[in-house]
Amino acid sequence: MFFRLLSAVRRQRPGRGWRNWSSGRSGASAAEAHSVTLPTQAQVVICGGGIMGTSVAYHLSKMGWKDIVLLEQGRLAAGSTRFCAGILSTARHLTIEQKMADYSNKLYHQLEQETGIQTGYIRTGSVFLAQTQDRLISLKRINSRLNVIGIPSEIISPKKVAELHPLLNVHDLVGAMHVPEDAVVSSADVALALASAASQNGVQIYDRTSVLHVMVKKGQVSGVETDKGQIECQYFVNCAGQWAYELGLSNEEPVSIPLHACEHFYLLTRPLETPLQSNTPTIVDADGRIYIRNWQGGLLSGGFEKNPKPIFTEGKNQLEIQNLQEDWDHFEPLLSSLLRRMPDLETLEILKLVNCPETFTPDMRCIMGESPSVRGYFVLAGMNSAGLSFGGGAGRYLAEWMVHGYPSENIWELDLKRFGALQSSRTFLRHRVMEVMPLLYDLKVPRWDFQTGRQLRTSPLYDRLDAQGARWMEKHGFERPKYFVPPDKDLLALEQSKTFYKPDWFEIVESEVKCCKEAVCVIDMSSFTKFEITSTGDQALEVLQYLFSNDLDVPVGHIVHTGMLNQGGGYENDCSVARLSKRSFFMISPTDQQVHCWAWLKKHMPEDSNLLLEDVTWKYTALNLIGPRAVDVLSELSYAPMTPDHFPSLFCKEMSVGYANGIRVMSMTHTGEPGFMLYIPIEYALHVYNEVMSVGQKYGIRNAGYYALRSLRIEKFFAFWGQDLNTLTTPLECGRESRVKLEKGMDFIGRDALLQQKQNGVYKRLTMFILDDHDTDLDLWPWWGEPIYRNGQYAGKTTSSAYSYTLERHVCLGFVHNFSEDTGEEQVVTADFINRGEYEIDIAGHRFQAKAKLYPVTSLFTHKRRKEDVELSDLHGK
Amino acid sequence: MPAPTQLFFPLIRNCELSRIYGTACYCHHRHLCCSSPYLAQSRLRCTPPPAYATFCRPKEGWWQHTQGRRYASTPQKFYLTPPQVNSILKANEYSFKVPEFDGKNVSSVLGFDSNQLPANAPIEDRRSAATCLQTRGMLLGVFDGHAGCACSQAVSERLFYYIAVSLLPHETLLEIENAVESGRALLPILQWHKHPNDYFSKEASKLYFNSLRTYWQELIDLNTGESTDIDVKEALINAFKRLDSDISLEAQVGDPNSFLNYLVLRVAFSGATACVAHVDGVDLHVANTGDSRAMLGVQEEDGSWSAVTLSNDHNAQNERELERLKLEHPKNEAKSVVKQDRLLGLLMPFRAFGDVKFKWSIDLQKRVIESGPDQLNDNEYTKFIPPNYYTPPYLTAEPEVTYHRLRPQDKFLVLATDGLWETMHRQDVVRIVGEYLTGMHHQQPIAVGGYKVTLGQMHGLLTERRAKMSSVFEDQNAATHLIRHAVGNNEFGTVDHERLSKMLSLPEELARMYRDDITIIVVQFNSHVVGAYQNQD
């Protein structure tokens, strides 16, 4: 059998340290298993004995939590973990993923020494091949990011590739990336070693025990019902891999964990006549959709095909993944690809084709964190076929999260709360993972949108806008217009428009931006998350004053930009709040905050029946009228004066627009241009839109999309939560001191941290960079995540970028750190420090000079502003 | 099979020659027909207008023999391109998949593919498929009309309702009757699975409904409250007979609405065979009247395919039918009742719906025709009384019902009109469908097992398999695939595009000479469910 060969369970286990390991040590009999009684209570119950569950248990126990029970329905490390191809690779697209993989690598490296269990760890390194220039660019981008976090890697020539691996055909390659410290390891043995170490630290492990469902009392985990009895617990960790979705739904209060399994195939061969050296690097040929590693003298090769086979949609459960059917016909394209890459293998004998389901998530990132609806319910699953690489790091972050209340890194990109209930449809998941799995090896270009699972949430204007040439992108399931293709213009087909260079919509967005600056544009921004908080007494104000850093005790009708901070002063949310009346507030947050913000508010709001929090996102269509003529359009439609004297900036009023009454008009935009936001009850949306468009005609009105918005807001140094701001960024670090009222007369969450930071200074600073010697037509465009160099030293990474049509330059936003040259320690960043530096931005290995600015280019603000709007420049004077 | 017919030529003269031979190919084709040693069997001989109800069927040698001349007379080649061929073949295709609930498919039927290819214009074949909603089970049927499509159309609309009603328990019948009585919404009885081209007559629906209601009222009255078990076989037989008698009765009574009156007469004077399958779990009943056929595809343990016939043709090739007819009529008619392999020398199927010419007494026929509308009176065919017509009825719609208990090796059922069976042997039909279905759904997986296989060998094998697959994938529908073979097969048993193109580009008036209407339903069984049933017992 295959798994014996792959050394799933080694018999020569050390004698020591198994006291807490109950049942099934080496395939215990059922009778033996039944005799074991579970403890009646524990602090933490972890479900899943794969690499995730054991890693969480290992890290929790290391951090001092001892009262932990780990339950596994089959045998330890017998699911996807057993079948894992065993490749540990740090070359990931997200920095957080790179860090997780890097930590895992270091952890596994010393695990054998720590536990005495052989893990088969061999530092082979890996080579990522590029058959095309675009692939090479993609690798170069990863390469420059790996280097700055201390993972050695280099771009190498095809000739060098041939030296690293004797069997490779390199004639069709344009280059490659070599990551020498990547490794191969037996993931099952890693899981067993982690379990063993955890067990020595007091974790109790029970296999052949299934979790039936999690018991919840008052929105808090109270215990776990298993097939062998109940366990009371405070924390539950769902590490059930591909069964995590089902397990989440089995609760009375379901927890939606959007993931879905696909069949995954890899080939094992018999040994080569002259076996490769054991440290021959792993090959990833993403253009050929395959990976190849050295395995017991032969090869192991699998891949991510274009036409994946989703499996277990209907939630079929089974104790261990049976050895599923081998499907050679399905594997044929990958086999062809393998033989093209290594022609000499023709005569090599096949041992087996392994079918091992892997779990995928809707956005190709893993899922971790606490459930927004059930406190104490943690999740770590959906590894997109990188479970081994992420196992150590992800387990550590989750353990930190549980022990400290937050992880040491910003993991918003992986947070369970980035998803809503809408991603829990089986049909959606099935369709989406069919797109996600091939995407693992597809070229990842900027501004890529998923094609499946679309048109779920739409504005009532969707059809109207679509008919006018709107091209769409999706955020949190909501369709948002990117730009509007004029009737006479043809854009490239989807496949061709994948580029790292200047995109084909450049001129289209340019004209939209120009219209925003000179006339007036309409942008449908209905996707924003909208909450209403009302109370019978003053509770609403009190709660909000405690939750928000700005002072909300403003006159009725005023709008306040404010952050919702955590204890560390970091942004949990960045929003605008309008005071509708003395006791009710209207809160506008980024689209993807719908779940996160709701959970945060619920968590911190007192259980007071007089306090009402309502999600009104679906009730309002939001139209943004941007541009100097917006005021004319609106006053013509309402017969009300809209000039700044009558309608000052950052002001909110319910008024009539056209025939429709009760439209919330706000004198604000999200780009810094003059204009208004209209929050329209959805039944009036079409009417108001039509009126605006017909009246606006004489002012040159046109539709605009989010790309224009993005260009406008970035050139004005407007940071967005989720891209530039996150839970580890404080207002002081991004020049938003004026949005914090430390002395508003009452405490608010994060105040202490901010006070301290104010005294000590900040360790990073959001800075705007204007690229100097960058040729928009010929050079690679920045995206985000590009390393920033200050005086030749790595100083941070960009968070977002856009082309500014006004400055005719690329603008990047990013954080500048002050790493000590000697120790690498972070030091205080002052305005002076920023201003004195010479900066370069590294785009795929090419460094471009950049001017750093702490404040927006003032010439961009041409309109009259209220004092608060000038906040960023306020700092300048101090 | 083809019968030599010296009768053909005189008959054709009776026809409206201009309508048949109004084309440029006139001379050529007349020659063709005359020189043909065999002339095809029309289902119903002696059919004056409409002319295209008369046909001839070429033999193969004849096809080759005339090719040269054909090209000579029509200089421009009108080959259809493969997409054009596909669009013709796929115009009527329909697939239905039994929906899964909660990821589980509990039905023993996976789904079905159906299709039809006309030769007559308009096509005289009909098909029906429906799920019984008040009882379990699925109904599927093919209907081959003759002397027009009126009867096959009526049967295709009505027969399943009669069957479904016959299967209903007493309480449900009462419930339905009460609902009708009090004007409440009716329980839906059938869920139809129809191709957009399969239509129901709106005008007659009221009339049909009333007849059906009378039937269930009688069933309610007849109920003694004793037996609760409904015998499917009996229900099928009753439904067939009842519908035929209703068709006959409606024609005798007539209708005040002149359109309907003419319609019921056309239905009664034309005819249709029916082959209907009822699948409920592992119980498969096939009720057959006429010469359509139900064929079961069985996969043997070694993967090969064999055909099990589940119906008997009711025609001259069936000894038992000959025997039955002879017994049902006096000895002195023994020679005339079946002549030249036809009932009374005229009708090929020995059982059929409608065809009151073979059922009513001469008096009744004359009376109805005289009181009928003028169109009927002017119609030569209806007026024509069969020769040797002494002891009617000569024809019945009573079906022969076969029962088969499904086994896991029973993979599919082919229901098809004689248009298919004339051109293909049943063994070929089952093999082609079997290979098609396994190719698509469970192509024999390759397993390395303990063999020594190198990567190169495997690669070669897989490339070959993929090439083979892509040709199969041209059709998404098993019935279409079968029609492609039936029409386009060459002597090697593979589809010859040239031949296919020629056959499909025949002018409407000529198509019937080369082929009959073909209607096929391929029902696929769910072996897992069937197996599970078997294990339960």
Q: CB distance from A353 to chain B under 8 Å?
A: yes
Residue with tokens 């004066």: A641
Tokens encoding A61: 């126990």
CA angle B384, B385, B391 (to 5 degrees): 170
Q: For strand A290-295 and strand A229-232, is the pairing parallel, antiparallel, or unpaired?
A: unpaired
What pLDDT was estimated at residue B471?
57
**Would you call A314 an interface residue with chain B, using a CB distance cutoff of 8 Å?**
yes
Percentage, residues of chain A above pLDDT 90:
76
| pLDDT over 70, % of chain A | 92
More confident residue, A25 or A114: A114
- Beta strands A521-524 and A702-703 are parallel
In this complex, is the C-beta atom of B102 within 8 Å of any C-beta atom belonging to chain A? yes
Alpha-carbon distance of B299 to B435, in angstroms, equals 10
As a dihedral over the C-alpha atoms of residue A655, residue A656, residue A661, residue A667, rounded to 10 degrees, the angle is -40
The answer to whether the Cβ–Cβ distance between B454 and A347 falls below 8 Å is: yes
A350 part of contact set with chain B, CB < 8 Å: yes
Q: What is the pLDDT of residues A466-510, one digit of tens each?
A: 999 999 999 998 999 999 999 888 777 766 678 899 999 999 999
Q: Which residue has the tokens 């692939």?
A: A135
Euclidean distance between CA atoms B300 and A471, whole angstroms: 55
CA distance B156 to B142: 8
Q: Is pLDDT above 50 for B505?
A: yes
* Structure-token pair, residue A147: 């280097």
What three-state secondary structure class fits A282? strand
Query: Cα–Cα distance between B75 and A336 in angstroms, integer?
Result: 48
How far away is chain B from the Cα of A340, in angstroms, using its nearest Cα?
A: 11
Is A279 an 8 Å CB contact of chain B? no
Q: Residue B286 and residue A753: Cα distance in Å, rounded?
A: 82
d(CA A715, CA A770): 9
3 state SS of A178: strand
User: Is A540 within 8 Å of A552 (Cβ atoms)?
Assistant: no
CB neighbour class for A252 (10 Å; exposed up to 12, middle 13-18, buried from 19): exposed
Strand A310-311: give its sheet, edge to edge: A310-311, A260-262, A358-360
In whole angstroms, what is the distance from residue B382 CA to residue A477 CA? 67
Chain B neighbors of A348, CB-CB under 8 A: 454-455
Dist. CA A671–CA A713, nearest whole Å? 4
CA–CA separation, B145 vs B148, rounded Å?
A: 6
State the residue for tokens 């049943």: B426
Q: Cβ of A332 and B104 within 8 Å?
A: no
Residue B351 DSSP class: B
**B449 in contact with A at a CB cutoff of 8 Å?**
no
Q: Please compute the mean of the pLDDT values over residues A168-185 and round it to a whole number.
A: 95
Closest by Cα among B225, B244, B218, B108 to B166: B218
Cis-peptide into A446, omega within 30 deg: no
Q: Which helix (H) or strand (E) holds A469?
A: none
Interface check for A275 against chain B (CB to CB < 8 A): the answer is no
Q: From residue B386, give the alpha-carbon distance in Å to each of A465, A525, B52.
A: 71, 80, 20
Residue B304 above 90 pLDDT? no
> How close A56 gets to chain B, by Cα (Å)?
33
Give yes or no for residue B57 having a pLDDT over 70.
no
Q: Taking CB atoms and an 8 Å limit, are A350 and B455 in contact across chains?
A: yes
**Among the listed residues B133, B417, B397, B402, the one whose alpha carbon sits nearest the alpha carbon of residue B243:** B397
Q: Please write the tens of the pLDDT for every residue from A34-74.
A: 457 899 999 999 999 999 999 999 999 999 999 999 999 88
Q: Which residues of A747-762 are buried (b: 16+ CB within 10 A; e: fewer)?
A: ebbbbebbeebeeeeb
pLDDT in tens, A117-160: 999 999 999 999 999 999 999 999 999 999 999 999 999 999 99
Q: Give the up-direction half-sphere exposure of residue B161: CA atoms within 13 A in the CB hemisphere.
A: 20
A429 within 8 A of A258, measured Cβ to Cβ: yes
Q: Do B103 and A313 touch (CB under 8 A)?
A: yes
Q: What is the pLDDT of residue B491?
A: 67
Q: Scanning the structure block, which residue is given the tokens 């695990």?
A: A111
- Which residues, other chains included, contact B326 with Cβ-Cβ below 8 Å and sequence gap of 6+? B334, B337, B338
Q: Assess whether the previous peptide bond of A14 is cis (omega < 30° from 0).
A: no
**Taking CB atoms and an 8 Å limit, are A345 and B446 in contact across chains?**
no
Given B443, B453, B462, which is nearest A332 (Cβ)?
B462
Residue B47 is predicted with a pLDDT of 43
Residue A318 at interface with chain B, using a CB cutoff of 8 Å: no
For A301, name the nearest residue in chain B, comparing CA atoms only. B455
Pick the CATH number of A460-484+503-528+623-721 from 3.30.2010.10, 3.40.50.12170, 3.30.1360.120, 3.30.70.1140: 3.30.1360.120
Contacts of B465 in chain A (CB under 8 A): 329, 332
Cα of A347 to nearest chain B Cα, Å: 5
A349 contacts on B by Cβ (under 8 Å): 452-455
Residue B469: list chain A partners with CB under 8 A.
Answer: 329
- Cis omega (within 30 of 0) on the bond before B122? yes
In chain A, which segments carry CATH 3.50.50.60? Answer: 41-360
Q: Inter-chain contact A316–B454, Cβ cutoff 8 Å?
A: no
* CA geometry: angle A733, A97, A799, nearest 5 deg: 35
pLDDT digits (tens, 9 = 90+) for A719-767: 999 899 999 999 999 989 889 999 988 899 999 999 999 999 999 999 9
Nearest to B252 by CA among B235, B274, B267, B272: B267
Distances A737 to A516, A757, B191, B265 between C-alpha atoms, Å: 29, 11, 68, 93
In the three-class reduction of DSSP (H, G, I as helix; E, B as strand; rest coil), residue A665 is classed as strand
**∠ CA B96-B102-B103 to the nearest 5 degrees?**
65
For residue B131, which of B179, B96, B81, B169 has the smallest C-alpha distance? B96
CB-nearest to B448 from A338, A347, A352 is A352
Q: Which CATH class is domain B82-535?
A: alpha beta
* CA–CA dist A31, B109 (Å, integer): 42
**Which ranges of A352-483 does DSSP label H, i.e. alpha helix?**
387-404, 426-439, 462-467
Query: Residue B293 is inside which H or E element, if any?
Result: strand B293-299
**Partners of residue B452 in chain A, C-beta under 8 Å:** 349
| C-alpha distances in Å from residue A458, one per residue of A245, A466, B235 | 26, 11, 53
CATH 3.40.190.10 correct for A529-616+730-749? no
Interface contact B445-A269, CB threshold 8 A: no
Token representation of residue A857: 């280019």
Helices and strands per DSSP (H, E), number in chain A: 22, 43
How close are the terminal C-alpha atoms of chain B, in Å? 44
Tell me how far CA of residue A856 lies from CA of A507, A787, A869, B55, in angstroms. Answer: 24, 21, 12, 88
Name the nearest CA neighbour of A788 among A810, A822, A824, A815. Answer: A815
What pLDDT, in 10s, does the model give residues A552-577?
999 999 999 999 999 999 999 999 99
Per-residue pLDDT at A27 exceeds 70? no
pLDDT range class, residue B202, cuts 50, 70, 90: confident
Chain B CA closest to residue A272? B454
The minimum CA-CA distance between A425 and chain B, rounded to whole Å, is 13
Predicted model pTM: 0.69
In angstroms, the CA A197 to CA A62 distance is 9
Contact A316 B103 (CB under 8 A): yes
Sequence-distant (6+) residues with CB within 8 A of B101 are none
* Exposure letters A610-631 (e unless 16+ CB within 10 A, then b): ebebeeebeebbbbbbbbbbbb
Is B253 in CB contact (< 8 Å) with chain A? Answer: no
CA atoms of A734 and A724, how far apart (whole Å): 9
Is pLDDT at A76 greater than 60 in this prediction? yes
Task: Quote the CA–CA distance of A452 and A449 in Å, as a whole number.
Answer: 9
- Alpha carbon distances (Å) from A781 to A681, A710, A801: 40, 15, 9
Which one, of A88, A312, A47, lies nearest residue A182 by Cα? A88
**Per-residue tokens: B302:** 């070694």
**All residues at 6 or more sequence positions from A113 whose CB lies less than 8 Å from its CB, including other chains:** none
Q: How far apart are CA A823 and CA A562, in angstroms?
A: 36
Give the model confidence (pLDDT) of A782-817 as tens digits.
Answer: 999 999 999 999 999 999 999 999 999 999 999 999
* Confidence category of residue B71, pLDDT binned at 50, 70, 90: very low
Distance from C-alpha of A522 to C-alpha of A486, rounded to nearest angstrom: 15
Which of A324, A328, A347 would best serve as a mutation to test chain B binding (most B beta carbons within 10 A)? A328
CATH number of A41-360: 3.50.50.60
Could you tell me whether strands A529-535 and B190-192 are parallel, antiparallel, or unpaired per DSSP bridges? unpaired
Tell me how far apart the alpha carbons of residues A201 and B208 are, in angstroms, rounded to a whole number.
81
Among the partner-chain residues A326, A332, A345, the one whose CB lies closest to the CB of B466 is A332
Looking at A14-18, A121-125, A350-354, A614-618, which range is the least confident one?
Answer: A14-18
Contact B445 A348 (CB under 8 A): no
DSSP string, B375-435: HHHT-HHHHPPPTT--S----B-PPEEEEEE--TTEEEEEEE-HHHHHHS-HHHHHHHHHH
Q: How many CB pairs under 8 A join A and B?
A: 65
